[in-house]
């Protein structure tokens, strides 16, 4: 569906087909009645899907909140991964200094830019 079609439906300038209302409701995991009525206690709106804007704004706000929450969790996980990577590089460097060379440790040091060549063993 094109954005201009949705805008016309919101303003009541274009009738909404049942298939379109069903598709919109499925996208937002809501019953079709949620598109028709901003509040289930309200009377049906006259002309078009006037409640569509309220439903879409509510869904948008919900998705925005979830994105913010997931973003915070992602940043926390990224910090934890960075700390673990630093520990891994430190251990690989200690292994190298102790004369213990492994492909895995050399790969870690190479990726960290601390080893230019790989050495087996």
How many domains does the structure of the chain reveal? 1
The structure tokens 């509040």 sit at: 39
**Helix (H) or strand (E) run with residue 55 in it:** helix 51-97
The overall average pLDDT reported for the chain is: 80
HSE-up of 70 (CA within 13 Å, CB side)? 6
For residue range 42-83, list pLDDT tens digits in order. Answer: 554 444 555 667 777 778 888 899 999 999 999 999 999 999
Domain span at 57: 3-111
Give the CA angle between residues 15, 21, 25 to the nearest 5°.
Answer: 150
Q: Could you tell me if 10 and 48 are in contact, meaning their C-beta atoms sit under 8 angstroms apart?
A: yes
CA distance 33 to 2: 22
Q: Is the pTM here over 0.75, yes or no?
A: no
User: Does residue 89 carry a pLDDT above 70?
Assistant: yes
Query: Is residue 121 one of the residues assigned to a domain?
Result: no
The answer to whether residue 120 is domain-embedded is no
Of 82, 81, 79, 95, residue with least CA distance to 107: 95
Residue 104 inside a domain? The answer is: yes
Q: Is residue 119 assigned to a domain?
A: no
In a domain, 116, yes or no: no
Q: Is the residue at 12 inside a domain? A: yes
């Amino acid at each position: 569906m094109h954005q201009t079609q949705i805008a016309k439906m919101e303003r009541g300038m274009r009738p909404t087909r049942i298939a379109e209302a069903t598709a919109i409701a499925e996208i937002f995991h809501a019953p079709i009645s949620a598109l028709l009525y901003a509040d289930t206690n309200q009377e049906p709106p006259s002309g078009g899907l006037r409640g569509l804007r309220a439903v879409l704004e509510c869904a948008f706000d919900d998705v925005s909140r979830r994105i913010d929450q997931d973003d915070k969790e992602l940043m926390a996980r990224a910090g934890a991964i960075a700390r673990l990577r630093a520990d891994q590089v430190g251990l690989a460097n200690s292994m190298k200094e102790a004369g213990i060379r492994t492909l895995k440790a050399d790969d870690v040091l190479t990726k960290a830019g601390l080893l230019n060549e790989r050495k087996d063993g």
